[in-house]
Amino acid sequence: MLGVVRGFGCSIVLSGALLGSAMAADMPTKAPAVPFVAGPWLELFGGFVVAPDSTYGYAGGVAAFNHDLNKDGFLFRIAGGDGHYKYDIVPGVSNGVDFQTGEVMVGYQAYFGSTRVTGYVGANVEDHHNNTDPLAVMNGTKWGVKGQGEILVPISQLAYLYGQASYSSVWNNYFVMAKAGYNITPAISIGPEVISLGNDRFDAVRVGPFIGINVTPSAQIILSGGYSWDTRNDNINDQNGANGTV
């Protein structure tokens, strides 16, 4: 998500006993179509985002120490990503930056009836190769602490609410998402999604619909799109525009 405020992407989730059932929501674009399936202990996720000014690919996993993601217990989460973004230093002078991200966190999830609440805390690192711009806000390698919270609330057999928020001390990265899903079939959910994200370099708000598709009992693809508002718009870089996923 770093440097990406509009564009196109893809998110794929695999989980389960040996890659069991897609149910836990752990990434920003993830929308569980089937909230509860017994027995998964490991979830793998990955995605790729492409925008006019950036690309970003990521992958990671979440494992339950008690070998069951459908029960209360401690979790282990690891993720990493690689990307590229560009911006104009002055009108007509573009600067391209390669960057990498990584995180290792431990967490705990608890069920209150059918509602699931999850929290993580751990280490976060980013490396931005931005040696061209002497005034760059984000450059070099920086380590910090990251926290993340999630809540999944089934409100009926067919509908649910999901929220996620995270913050990292690494360049003040933040991400907040809220969505409301409706299962139109056992394998497909749809609904609206609102996202606010940013860091020391940019801020953006995204609004649009999403669709979550369980392509197999152990794999899920999430598609979403809409419009992204650059809430830190300046006279040089305007990043307002449509955003979407494929």
Can you give the three-state secondary structure of 68-127, one letter per residue? CCCCCEEEEEEEEEEEEEEEEEECCEEEEEEEEEEEEEEEEEEEECCEEEEEEEEEEEEE
Please give the pLDDT value at position 72: 97
**Least confidently predicted of 44-53, 72-81, 104-113, 173-182:** 44-53
Is pLDDT at 227 greater than 50 in this prediction? Answer: yes
As a whole number of angstroms, the distance between CA 243 and CA 71 comes to: 36
Q: In whole angstroms, what is the distance from residue 15 CA to residue 40 CA?
A: 7
Instruction: Look up residue 19 and give its DSSP letter.
Output: B
Q: Give pLDDT tens digits for 176-192.
A: 999 999 999 999 999 99
Residue 224 pLDDT: 85
Percentage with pLDDT > 90 across the chain = 56
Nearest Cα residue to 173 out of 163, 183, 184, 165: 165
pLDDT of residue 11: 55
pLDDT tens digits, residue range 120-169? Answer: 999 999 999 998 898 899 999 999 999 999 999 999 999 999 999 999 99
Work out the average pLDDT over 93-117: 96
pLDDT digits (tens, 9 = 90+) for 2-29: 333 323 334 556 544 333 333 333 333 3
What pLDDT does 92 receive? 83
Q: Are 11 and 245 in contact (CB under 8 A)?
A: yes
Q: What is the mean pLDDT of residues 192-202?
A: 91
Q: Percent of the chain, pLDDT > 70?
A: 82
DSSP H or E segment with residue 157: none
